[in-house]
Structure 1
Amino acid sequence: KALDGRKMNLSELSRKTGLSKTTILEHLNKLVEADLVKKIEREGHKWTYYKLSWKGSSLLHPENTKIVIVFCVSIFFLLGGVYQIAIYGIGSSFTTAMDLDEWNLLGGKGNFSSEDFQELMIKHAKEEARNKTLLGAQPGNIHVYQSTENLSKGLKLEVFYQDPSYLYLGIAFLTISIATLFYLFRTLRRRKSILDMM
């Protein structure tokens, strides 16, 4: 515990603990073998310093491991949320064809106005886009940005859409990330105030 937070040489440890240097050296050698303490020797310097290893620090402060895990989870959700929102923003596009049988089923027979034609195209595009979304939800933005009409073969549609499932997932991931970061900073602040009291 004396090495917690800083490195010390044999004399400093002896003064702090009130034990003889030989006793401390025996204990330190066992702790170095168990990889709980690191021995720091520098060329040209006469003093040897000792400090806690990660393993030793984790034994004294088991919350360190918890903090690292929470931080990694938070970063994972942050990156996942940004990625999901980016996918939503970029959107998706596909090409679909409406053959004459489908055209006739949707009401394309006989006389129709250009508004009816546009409405049938959008209806067909929305149905196809909904089938392509992650959760089968109705896409938020659908744009038919190119269509070529050839009534002898059918109709070809170029469709751009944004899947709202990615937006909802992104918002959920970012919310989880912010909550875990808030928990992490609160834990660190509480730990710092406890260490300051000692």
Structure 2
Amino acid sequence: MDPVDVVLTKDAFTALASESRLRMLKDLNVRRMTIAELAADLDLAKSTVHHHLRVLVDAGFVAAEDDGHAWVYYALTPEGHALLYPHDGVRIRILLATALVTFVGGIAALAKFLVVLLSDETPGIPMLGGGGAQVQEAPPWDLLILGLALTLIGSVLVGYAYLRWRKRRRIDQDIS
């Protein structure tokens, strides 16, 4: 399914201004429904549901499906689906970029820690008054902790992005 851009017009803002209409969109995301089903699910009068559906249809988020039977079913349009799931691929790319930056930052902090730890020229702290031996500075443990934390967070974000990508791919396969 190709990404659909949702154009936010006056009708779109009007449609999204009601909690009842937002709940209808979420219910229709699960499956197509009749006015009676939506009224029962939302605990609203059928006339109220009909009014809300007219607003959603006018905004282009919902379409009526009259298949020749006694009932008219309402379902989300591609724009309605895109409203609930805005460009999921973009979210995954942002998540992966964040994970990469975090992971690289963690590796850089670990590398800096190792360079300081293994260098022969560990800076000393001069004694007050200028006399005596210098006290050796302790290794920068904060760099180690920061590096490990960033590397772990980056790894978790990559895993999460992969799981979202798999879920999105499965949904796309089910739709087609």
TM superposition score category, shorter chain reference: 0.3 to 0.5
- Whichever structure has more strand as a proportion of its residues is 1
Normalised TM-score (structure 1)? 0.40
- Whichever structure has more helix as a proportion of its residues is 2
Normalised TM-score (structure 2)? 0.44
Structure number with greater Rg is: 1
